């Protein structure tokens, strides 16, 4: 069975995101993220949702790009997302929009 600390470890091990990204997406601090990775505390429900949504996006993205390209893509304004940054959209709970852009990228569709 997967634990939240395991999900966090998987995200960080990819080098696509770091603890600062996790803090940004959840509206938390890097210190809170550190506590979550060691299972000393649990995130709020909405923060947990954002982490799981980020994991889903990263999993999809790694099917299309390598770690470094995926890292840059998540932090860059993307034309297919109305020039918004994917990490910002995920933080706002709009991960489905980001997944749509990843799927379009995989199909070779660009805006």
For residue 54, give the nearest of 70, 76, 31 by alpha carbon: 70
**pLDDT at residue 1, rounded to an integer:** 44
**pLDDT at residue 20, rounded to an integer:** 92
Mean residue pLDDT across the chain: 91
For residue 70, give the nearest of 78, 83, 25, 32 by alpha carbon: 78
> What is the pTM (predicted TM-score) of this model?
0.89
d(CA 30, CA 14): 18
Q: What is the token pair recorded at 23? A: 């803090």
Query: For 56, how many CA atoms within 13 A lie in the half-sphere containing its CB?
Result: 16
What is the average pLDDT across 55-74? 95
Which parts of 27-85 fold into alpha helices (H)? 30-37, 45-61, 67-75
Determine the distance from the C-alpha atom of residue 13 to the mean position of all C-alpha atoms in its chain, rounded to a whole number.
Answer: 13
> What is the pLDDT confidence band of residue 109, given thresholds at 50, 70 and 90?
low
Query: What residue segments make up the domains of the chain, in order of their start?
Result: 4-107
Q: Is the pLDDT of residue 24 over 60?
A: yes
Q: Is the pLDDT of residue 63 over 80?
A: yes
């Amino acid at each position: 069975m997967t634990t939240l600390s395991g999900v966090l470890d998987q995200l960080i091990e990819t080098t696509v995101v770091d603890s600062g990204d996790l803090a940004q997406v959840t509206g938390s601090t890097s210190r809170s993220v550190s506590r979550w990775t060691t299972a000393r505390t649990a995130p709020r429900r909405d923060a947990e949702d954002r982490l799981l949504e980020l994991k889903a996006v990263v999993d999809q993205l790694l099917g299309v790009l390598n770690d470094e390209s995926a890292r840059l893509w998540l932090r860059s304004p993307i034309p297919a997302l109305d020039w918004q940054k994917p990490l910002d959209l995920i933080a706002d709970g709009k991960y489905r929009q980001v997944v749509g852009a990843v799927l379009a990228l995989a199909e070779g569709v660009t805006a």
